[in-house]
Amino acid sequence: MANAWFETVAEAQRRARKRLPRSVYGALVAGSEKGVTLEDNVAAFAELGFAPHVAGLSAKRDLATTVMGQSISLPVVISPTGVQAVHPDGELAVARAAASRGTAMGLSSFASRPIEEIVKANPKTFFQIYWIGTREQMRARLQRARAAGAVGIIATLDWSFSHGRDWGSPYIPERLTLREALRFAPEALTHPRWLFSYLRAGHLPDLTVPNMADAGEPAPTFFGAYGQWMQTTPPSWSDVAWLREQWDGPFMLKGVTRVDDALRAADAGVTAISVSNHGGNNLDGTPATIRVLPSIVDAVGDRVEVLLDGGVRRGSDVVKALALGARAVMIGRAYLWGLAANGQRGVQNVLDILRSGIDSALMGLGHRSVAELSRDDLVIPPGFTRTLGAPQPPG
Ligand SMILES: Cc1cc2nc3c(=O)[nH]c(=O)nc-3n(C[C@H](O)[C@H](O)[C@H](O)COP(=O)(O)O)c2cc1C
């Protein structure tokens, strides 16, 4: 067998594309509308440059930090993704990989594995919740997460049900019935390694979302839960404050891009925010998260921990985000491609790539630890940043 190790996230993506059936790969690429935000998330990182030193470099660098009370060995956390059918071990492989590399994991409400199983594999698990259903149902989901041992909550609120893509959306069945399996067969049969991994595991993807099950009820299908979401009135800021009060522990609000929202989140008492546009899957035309990060960091100061997610593909991207004030980043597609390419080892491979990329950038910049990074380390082109939701200077 060819060497399963890959040297960059781009190579993991190439392998994922080759290995996965077209519609599964398409579900990972995701994005929305024209893909402006999806592309800008990645492209904006490349606009930023570094200002390296040539001597006085440190022989050892410390990458460790903490996020929401959890010590992590590198400033990279697994962002929650509700993606089914990438790999038979799914989120379990991701949880094991993150634990083996000393970092934390966000588990999506739409994950294919139950929270109880994931916390056992990685005790540093944050459970991600959407505003779906009644307050009682949400409270019950939080209680279940608490009983399972989740160490924090990620509330993701940036979703506006945008479903069209210029490059076409993948077909995802409600359930993988025999009829659906036959319809899917040509795609699956031309991707035998993917199919074989499921046959070896003894099951096909079941496309249910166990963490959305009401007590004593079977897990709903992804589309069943999604339908309930579409019928739920979106939350007000007092609903956000209510949700935060239901969890007496670390709580992150994910999806913030505006200064005024960041300040409101801080007022609601959150522990952390993730500056995020849902990986460009939501309202297309939202700027890259790295462009809006500095204004949010400046506005909230030390009131909350600020993380960033969106477009992180390299260790140097992580370093750029930290230099602009993020405490850590979260990754989505990067680990999903690793998972598709080589299961748990593929996710470990991605985390190792990021770790060595962070380390090498820190070395070049002459720092001993991630805590020393600052805007001085970067070349920021004029007009790079964007400030949303704050008074603009005249002109
Ligand atoms: C296929 C896919 C599914 C996602 N599902 C969820 C989800 O269930 N919950 C959530 O909070 N974010 C979800 N996200 C967003 C990610 O947590 C994260 O914000 C995003 O992927 C970061 O961008 P990146 O993929 O460029 O790293 C999803 C992203 C992708 C690509």
- Secondary structure (DSSP) of 14-37: HHHHHHS-HHHHHHHH---BT-HH
Ligand 1 site, CB within 6 A:
27-28, 30, 41, 79-83, 108, 110, 128, 156, 254, 276, 278-279, 281, 309-312, 331-334
pLDDT at site 395: 63
CA 54–ligand 1 middle distance (angstroms): 38
Q: How far apart are CA 46 and CA 365, in angstroms?
A: 17
Please list, residue by residue across 172-210, b when 16 or more beta carbons sit within 10 angstroms of its beta carbon and e when fewer do.
ebeebeeebeeebeebbeebeebbebeeeeeebbebbbb
Q: Is 191 a catalytic residue?
A: no
CA 128-334-94 angle, to 5 degrees, is 55
Distance of CA 166 to the CA centre of its chain: 23
Give the distance between the most distant pair of CA atoms in the chain.
Answer: 65
pLDDT at site 195: 87
CA 372–ligand 1 middle distance (angstroms): 29
* Residue 82 alpha carbon, nearest atom of ligand 1: 8
Contact 154, 276 (CB under 8 A): no
Using CA positions, which residue lies closest to atom 6 of ligand 1? 81
CA 281–ligand 1 middle distance (angstroms): 8
Q: Which residues of the chain have pLDDT under 70?
A: 1-2, 178, 392-395
CA 138–ligand 1 middle distance (angstroms): 21
From 259, 257, 60, select the one nearest 160 (Cα to Cα).
257
CA 30–ligand 1 middle distance (angstroms): 9
pLDDT at site 328: 99
Give me 344's structure tokens. 């748990």
Using CA positions, which residue lies closest to atom 28 of ligand 1? 81
Contact 359, 314 (CB under 8 A): no
Using CA positions, which residue lies closest to atom 20 of ligand 1? 279
From 26, 30, 35, 28, select the one nearest 286 (Cα to Cα).
35
* Residue 27 alpha carbon, nearest atom of ligand 1: 1
Length of the chain: 395
Q: Count CA atoms closer than 13 A to 69's CA, side-chain side.
A: 13
* Residue 42 alpha carbon, nearest atom of ligand 1: 26
Using CA positions, which residue lies closest to atom 2 of ligand 1? 81
Model confidence, pTM: 0.96
Q: Probe ligand 1: pick from 253, 278, 293, max atoms within 8 Å of CB?
A: 278
CA 129–ligand 1 middle distance (angstroms): 13
* Residue 79 alpha carbon, nearest atom of ligand 1: 17
Residue in 87, 191, 278, 367 annotated catalytic: 278
Query: Contacts for 15-20 with beta carbons within 8 Å, 24 or more apart?
Result: 15/337, 15/340, 15/341, 15/342, 16/336, 16/337, 16/340, 16/341, 19/191, 19/193, 19/194, 19/340, 19/341, 20/86, 20/191, 20/194, 20/340
pLDDT at site 1: 53
